[in-house]
């Protein structure tokens, strides 16, 4: 009888552990958009970002064309979703800085970090964190200007994954 109760308790614990909600890997994103000419342009991007599943709120700075996107705790949004939203509004990303809880960043020996099925490749020596969060900038095509991407192709020619242009690989550097 004791064995049956013990087995039931173990099964219940296993169910609780596997059904627990995980928290977002990215807590905030700062997007500087290019090509905006008026407040209507800004409004189009703002609407697209707010309509994205998992987005809690969006704030806009019209002076710098920067959109700060805050995510709901249970969301697992990756940068490609934000890029798609900005492009759907008819614009492009000139810079993307994401904020990630430091405890989410488990780095492998090859300087890669896996988050929600995507690979983040660290391009500088190490990540810097501030108050339990780490800010990183994404340096891939579509997340920097075309001019900057051309320069990066030359600079990062030794990083084989950079020129592969895989949408699930993100090349990052500390943004602090």
Domains defined along the chain, listed by start: 22-174 (3.30.70.100)
Distance, CA of 123 to CA of 136 (rounded, Å): 10
Residue 1: what pLDDT? 52
CA 26 to chain CA mean position, Å? 5
* Partners of residue 141 on adjacent β-strands: 144
pLDDT per residue as tens, the chain (176 positions): 555 544 445 444 444 443 333 444 888 999 999 988 888 989 999 999 999 999 999 999 988 999 999 999 888 889 999 999 999 999 999 999 999 888 777 777 777 888 877 888 888 877 777 678 889 999 999 999 999 999 998 988 888 788 887 888 899 988 86
Residue 2: what pLDDT? 54
Residue 54: what pLDDT? 92
Alpha-helix residue ranges (DSSP H) falling in 53-135: 79-88
* Partners of residue 34 on adjacent β-strands: 92
Residue 170, phi then psi, degrees to nearest 5: -120, 130
Residue 3: what pLDDT? 56
Residue 100: what pLDDT? 87
Residue 24: what pLDDT? 47
pTM across the whole model: 0.81
């Amino acid at each position: 009888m004791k064995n049956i109760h013990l087995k039931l308790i173990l099964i219940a614990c296993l169910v609780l552990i596997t059904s627990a909600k995980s928290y977002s890997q990215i807590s905030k994103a700062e997007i500087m958009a290019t090509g905006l000419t008026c407040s209507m342009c800004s409004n189009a991007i703002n609407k697209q970002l707010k309509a994205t599943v998992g987005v809690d709120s969006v704030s806009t700075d019209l002076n710098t064309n920067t959109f700060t996107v805050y995510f709901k705790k249970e969301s697992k949004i990756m940068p490609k979703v934000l890029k798609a939203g900005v492009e759907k509004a008819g614009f492009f990303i000139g810079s993307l800085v994401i904020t990630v809880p430091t405890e989410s960043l488990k780095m492998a020996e090859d300087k890669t970090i896996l988050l929600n099925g995507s690979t983040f490749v660290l391009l500088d020596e190490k990540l810097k964190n501030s108050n339990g969060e780490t800010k990183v900038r994404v340096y891939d095509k579509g997340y920097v200007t075309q001019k900057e991407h051309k320069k990066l192709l030359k600079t990062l020619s030794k990083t084989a994954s950079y020129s592969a242009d895989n949408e699930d690989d993100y090349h990052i550097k500390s943004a602090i």
